[in-house]
């Protein structure tokens, strides 16, 4: 598309869609019109991609996830299509601020955190590698809540992201399917003497797919993210007597559950899970029928991925269709199902391992229940005599009155993977050890990754351009080519240029901070960043304790040498997680105290930015000097902000947890600050039960002062929250070992501050972090899933031509 064609198209669309002239348009209209143009640009590729897959009977993977977190899409789509520079400069020449146009777009925030963002990174990488992989999820009317601070407290506001329409989605009326809930199912003999389930009094809902194109980077592939929305089918209209009754149905896809740790055990959540799973599996089978292949070969054409346990019902739903609709035998159906399914575990936190009450499943999803019961019965029967009874009892799906979804996933799939080496090892040795005994060949590791296209090319143009200038542009397609930056570790000119790029980003963030919070920060201070969900195990409180220690040091000794630092937080707490909310309040009050203390004289600033989301992450990450990855060892399955920050040249302060271990291996000990308990030490404390937070407190006056600050009025306005925090550490013996790790944490922070003064050394470390970050590209992660688990490959265009 030329500049002239673009302007012409823009003019017409503004006229047609808004009855307006381009000259009078605002960023709002411009955003919609450009969005339409972009969609039109990839429409043909989208259609062609689908045709290619169909004509070649391409084996495809379907990534089932209850969360997707793509963020904004205008800039990323423009970049993928190679139109970014032209459109930006044209829009600016027309007298608009391009940034303002981008900011019109609501974040598509249909996820909570790492798990949902990973799903979106994966889709991006699949398309960019021309791999036939699609997403399947829920089109929530309301995304993750918007966070506001009122008097330092988190307040949650609804995120009506669809209010002003969504240019990217296509409603596919003709591909709607029915999903059935409740009723009674009984078995009836057929003429040939078999038993077939008959259902009565079911509630039928309509699932409408909304498709979004996932545009590959500089190629011709556009895959599909299919999100389902609920409606009342026409045939059922008569059954709903009041608006309220209808509302109840329509509420099914209304909201995303804003909790990334605890399962609320709510019926709506279970219904959501079955809804998108059933709709997705049905639409896959319907598509497969178009290939005119026998059902007994469906596993050669379909790979289904279960992203955490939320889509676990994929297994019984696929069984249902093969058994009930295709009349296959149990054995045949089971073989096909297991070979199609694969599962990723994303956490070892017990409270996040889904279990559903047996009665709830039995009542609301009776056919699912029957099938799960039969899977469980056969599992037990087949293993009896071969394995110890207690092992069988620990691994079976139905235990007491609960259904264990992770057990279902492992038993019903051919692959179970963790998301970082340490995590996958822990699955094998501890968390899922019993299953590892049963199915050692099913277990594997796929360390998470990120897409540097969004997190470096798009979010950090100054750095991206500099990398181009230094080593050429090949890294944009092959991220490990960033290794070539290692040749410039001693090149002063390059180091200075990198420092300038960082400085430019810090300046931009400083402006944003001042605009949104009124806090002035010095761009030459250390920008120390912790951005992630607020959770006790992630230990934002440890960071806060260190901040308090620095504060007291300065108060006691105002003349001391102190390297200025700005601590930047971004974090949402689940609305029902009072402890996490107490920590938010405490950080905000400490911020207020320090930021206004004249003795501190701007040497310390604490900034908690509201409403952390993908777009805010894109602003913060390029400006970070320090990346806080300080979860208690064994608790963070992988982490992904650690990879994003590293890519952007931030130096990690890390515990040996999740993917931090692999980051250290990549950059070397000298280019990362590690501290804290190791996995072995944590497990030893668990075994011996001899951890005493009180003993540590009693012996350490610094810790006493820091902790007392929460309850003695030093930090104002946190009577209740301060007490809760104080109690969690002493009365409840500090579940996440903050006191134990506090001293070593402060030590590495002190070392870091000194190192920061040595600009050459720091800049070299920073460059090395970027240089070594290529291996954490999700391009490679996805390729490993494609090769080892899904067995999918790009369409062979030569073969296509020969045909
Ligand atoms: C998570 C893990 O906590 C996180 O460490 C991991 O990086 C992410 C993606 O694999 O998955 N598990 C989880 O339940 N959530 C995560 O972010 C919400």
- For 481-527, the pLDDT digits (tens) are 999 999 999 999 999 999 999 999 999 999 999 999 999 999 999 99
**Is residue 1 in some structural domain?**
no
**475, 359: one domain:** no
Whether 131 shows a pLDDT value over 90: the answer reads yes
- Residue range 459-476, pLDDT digits in tens: 999 999 999 999 999 999
**297, 265: one domain:** yes
**Is residue 134 in some structural domain?**
yes
User: What is the structure's pLDDT at 94?
Assistant: 96
**433, 476: one domain:** no
**256, 186: one domain:** yes
Mean pLDDT of 303-307: 98
For residue 74, how many other CB atoms are within 10 A of its CB?
21
Whether 800 shows a pLDDT value over 80: the answer reads no
For residue 716, how many other CB atoms are within 10 A of its CB?
12
**725, 793: one domain:** no
Which one of the listed residues 226, 364, 396, 538 is annotated catalytic? Answer: 538
CA–CA separation, 308 and 507 (whole Å): 39
**Torsion sign over Cα 579, 580, 581, 587:** positive
Mean pLDDT of 93-98: 97
User: What is the structure's pLDDT at 258?
Assistant: 77
Task: Please tell me the distance between residue 643's alpha carbon and the centre of ligand 1 in angstroms.
Answer: 13
Task: Tell me if 654 sits within 8 A of 660, measured CB to CB.
Answer: yes
**528, 434: one domain:** no
636 lines ligand 1 (CB under 6 A): yes
**544, 662: one domain:** yes
Mean pLDDT of 559-571: 98
Task: Tell me if 651 sits within 8 A of 765, measured CB to CB.
Answer: yes
Task: Tell me if 634 sits within 8 A of 682, measured CB to CB.
Answer: yes
User: What is the structure's pLDDT at 474?
Assistant: 97
User: What is the structure's pLDDT at 241?
Assistant: 82
**479, 440: one domain:** no
Q: Please count the CA atoms within 13 angstroms of the CA of 753 that sit on its side-chain side.
A: 17
**Is residue 306 in some structural domain?**
yes
Which one of the listed residues 644, 740, 764, 772 is annotated catalytic? Answer: 644
Domain that holds residue 406: 56-72+107-448+785-802
Task: Please tell me the distance between residue 533's alpha carbon and the centre of ligand 1 in angstroms.
Answer: 10
- Which CATH number does the domain housing residue 173 bear? 3.40.50.2000
Report the mean per-residue pLDDT for the chain: 96
- Residue range 747-794, pLDDT digits in tens: 999 999 999 999 999 999 999 999 999 999 999 999 999 999 999 999
**758, 791: one domain:** no
Give the CA distances from residue 302 to residues 53, 273, 791, in Å, rounded to whole numbers and listed in that order.
Answer: 12, 20, 10
- Residue 17: which pLDDT band, with cuts at 50, 70 and 90? very high
User: What is the structure's pLDDT at 541?
Assistant: 99
- Residue 266: which pLDDT band, with cuts at 50, 70 and 90? confident
Whether 77 shows a pLDDT value over 60: the answer reads yes
* Percent of the chain residues topping a pLDDT of 90: 94
User: What is the structure's pLDDT at 264?
Assistant: 59
- Residue 653: which pLDDT band, with cuts at 50, 70 and 90? very high
Q: Which atom of ligand 1 is nearest to the CA of 658?
A: 5
**Is residue 29 in some structural domain?**
no
**690, 748: one domain:** yes
- Residue range 191-209, pLDDT digits in tens: 888 889 999 999 999 999 9
CA–CA separation, 419 and 801 (whole Å): 38
Whether 159 shows a pLDDT value over 70: the answer reads yes
User: What is the structure's pLDDT at 802?
Assistant: 55
Which one of the listed residues 49, 344, 634, 640 is annotated catalytic? Answer: 640
**Is residue 85 in some structural domain?**
no
- Residue range 656-685, pLDDT digits in tens: 999 999 999 999 999 999 999 999 999 999
657 lines ligand 1 (CB under 6 A): no
**289, 412: one domain:** yes
**Is residue 22 in some structural domain?**
no
Give the residue whose CA is nearest to atom 7 of ligand 1.
639
**Is residue 642 in some structural domain?**
yes
637 lines ligand 1 (CB under 6 A): yes
Mean pLDDT of 88-113: 97
The three-state DSSP-derived secondary structure of 741-795 is HHHHHHHHHHHHHHHHHCHHHHHHHHHHHHHHHHHHEHHHHHHHHHHHHHCCCCC
Is 644 noted as a catalytic residue in this protein?
yes
Residue from 684, 638, 672 nearest 769 by CA: 672
258 lines ligand 1 (CB under 6 A): no
Mean pLDDT of 405-421: 98
Indicate the pTM of the whole model. Answer: 0.97
- Residue 796: which pLDDT band, with cuts at 50, 70 and 90? confident
Mean pLDDT of 570-599: 97
Give the CA distances from residue 453 to residues 107, 122, 135, 219, in Å, rounded to whole numbers and listed in that order.
Answer: 17, 12, 19, 14
Whether 93 shows a pLDDT value over 60: the answer reads yes
**Is residue 379 in some structural domain?**
yes
Scanning 525-577, the segments in alpha helix (DSSP H) are 540-556
Task: Tell me if 386 sits within 8 A of 676, measured CB to CB.
Answer: no
User: What is the structure's pLDDT at 801?
Assistant: 56
Residue whose CB lies within 8 A of the most ligand 1 atoms, among 110, 311, 346, for a mutation test: 346
**362, 479: one domain:** no
Give the residue whose CA is nearest to atom 9 of ligand 1.
115
User: What is the structure's pLDDT at 243?
Assistant: 87
CA–CA separation, 469 and 142 (whole Å): 43
* Least confident window among 111-115, 351-355, 552-556: 351-355
Pairing type for strands 443-445 and 416-418 reads parallel
Number of domains in the chain: 2
In sequence order, what DSSP letters do the residues of 307-330 get, joined into one string? ESSTTTTHHHHHHHIIIIIT---H
């Amino acid at each position: 598309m030329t500049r002239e064609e673009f302007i012409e198209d823009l003019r017409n669309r503004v006229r047609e869609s808004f009855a307006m002239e381009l000259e009078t348009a605002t960023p709002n209209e411009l955003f919609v019109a450009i969005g339409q143009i972009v969609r039109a640009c990839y429409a043909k590729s989208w259609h062609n991609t689908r045709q290619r897959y169909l004509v070649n009977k391409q084996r495809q993977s379907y990534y089932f996830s209850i969360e997707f977190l793509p963020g904004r899409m205008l800039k990323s789509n423009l970049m993928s299509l190679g139109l970014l520079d032209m459109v930006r400069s044209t829009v600016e020449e027309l007298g608009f601020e391009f940034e303002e146009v981008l900011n019109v777009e609501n974040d598509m925030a249909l996820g909570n955190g790492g798990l949902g963002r990973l799903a979106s990174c994966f889709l991006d990488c699949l398309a960019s590698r021309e791999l036939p992989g699609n997403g399947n999820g829920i089109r929530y009317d309301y995304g993750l809540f918007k966070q506001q601070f009122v008097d330092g407290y988190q307040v949650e506001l609804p995120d009506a992201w669809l209010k002003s329409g969504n240019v990217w989605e296509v409603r596919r009326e003709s591909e709607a399917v029915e999903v059935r809930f409740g009723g009674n199912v009984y078995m009836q003999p057929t003429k040939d003497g078999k038993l077939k389930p008959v259902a009565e009094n079911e509630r039928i809902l309509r699932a409408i797919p909304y498709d979004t194109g996932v545009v590959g980077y500089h190629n011709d592939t556009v895959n599909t993210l299919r999100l389902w929305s609920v409606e009342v089918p026409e045939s059922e209209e008569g059954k709903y007597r009041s608006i309220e009754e209808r509302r109840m149905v329509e509420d099914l896809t209304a909201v995303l559950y804003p909790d990334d740790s605890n399962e609320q055990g709510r019926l709506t959540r279970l219904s959501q899970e079955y809804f998108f799973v059933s709709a997705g599996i049905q639409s896959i089978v319907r598509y497969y029928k178009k290939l005119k292949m026998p059902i007994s070969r469906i596993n050669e054409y379909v790979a289904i991925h279960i992203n955490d346990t939320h889509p676990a019902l994929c297994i019984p739903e696929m069984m249902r269709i093969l058994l009930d609709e295709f009349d296959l035998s149990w054995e045949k159906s089971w073989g096909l199902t297991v070979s199609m399914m694969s599962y990723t575990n994303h956490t070892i936190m017990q409270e996040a391992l889904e279990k559903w009450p047996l009665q709830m499943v039995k009542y609301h999803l009776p056919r699912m229940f029957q099938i799960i019961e039969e899977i469980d019965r056969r599992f037990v029967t087949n293993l009896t005599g071969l394995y110890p009874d207690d092992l069988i009892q620990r691994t079976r799906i139905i235990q007491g009155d609960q259904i264990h979804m992770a057990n279902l996933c492992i038993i019903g799939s051919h692959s179970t993977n963790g998301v970082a080496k340490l995590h996958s090892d822990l699955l094998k040795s501890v968390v899922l050890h019993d299953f590892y005994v049963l199915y050692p060949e099913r277990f594997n590791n796929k360390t998470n990754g990120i897409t540097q296209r969004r997190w470096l090319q798009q979010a950090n143009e100054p750095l991206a351009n500099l990398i181009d200038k230094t080593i050429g542009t090949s890294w944009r397609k092959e991220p490990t080519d960033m290794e070539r930056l290692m040749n410039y570790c001693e090149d002063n000119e390059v180091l200075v240029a990198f420092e300038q790029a960082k400085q430019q980003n810090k300046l931009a963030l400083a402006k944003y901070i001042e605009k949104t919070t009124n806090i002035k920060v010095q761009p030459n201070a250390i920008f120390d960043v912790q951005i992630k969900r607020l959770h006790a195990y992630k230990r934002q409180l440890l960071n806060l304790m260190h901040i308090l220690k620095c504060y007291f040091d300065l108060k006691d000794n105002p003349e001391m040498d102190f390297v200025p630092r700005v601590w930047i937080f971004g974090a949402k707490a689940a609305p029902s997680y009072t402890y996490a909310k107490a920590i938010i309040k405490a950080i905000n009050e400490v911020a207020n105290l320090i930021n206004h203390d004249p003795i501190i004289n701007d040497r310390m600033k604490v900034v908690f930015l509201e409403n952390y989301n993908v777009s805010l992450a894109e602003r913060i990450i390029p400006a970070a000097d320090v990346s806080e990855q300080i979860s208690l060892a064994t608790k963070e399955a992988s982490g992904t902000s650690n990879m994003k920050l590293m890519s952007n040249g931030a130096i990690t302060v890390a515990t040996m947890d999740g993917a931090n271990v692999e980051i250290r291996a990549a950059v070397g000990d000298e280019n990362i600050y590690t501290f804290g308990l190791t996995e072995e030490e944590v497990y030893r404390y668990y075994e011996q039960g001899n951890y005493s937070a009180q003993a540590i407190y009693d012996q350490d006056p610094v810790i006493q002062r820091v902790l007392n600050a929460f309850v003695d009025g030093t930090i104002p306005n946190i009577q209740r929250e301060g007490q809760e925090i104080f109690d969690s550490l002493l009365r409840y013996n500090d579940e996440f070992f903050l006191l134990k790790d506090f001293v070593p944490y402060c030590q590495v922070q002190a070392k870091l501050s000194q190192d920061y003064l040595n600009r050459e050394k720091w800049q070299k470390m920073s460059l090395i972090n970027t240089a070594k970050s290529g291996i954490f590209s999700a391009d490679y992660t996805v390729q490993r899933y494609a090769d080892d688990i899904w067995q999918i490959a790009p369409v062979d265009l030569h073969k296509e031509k020969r045909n």
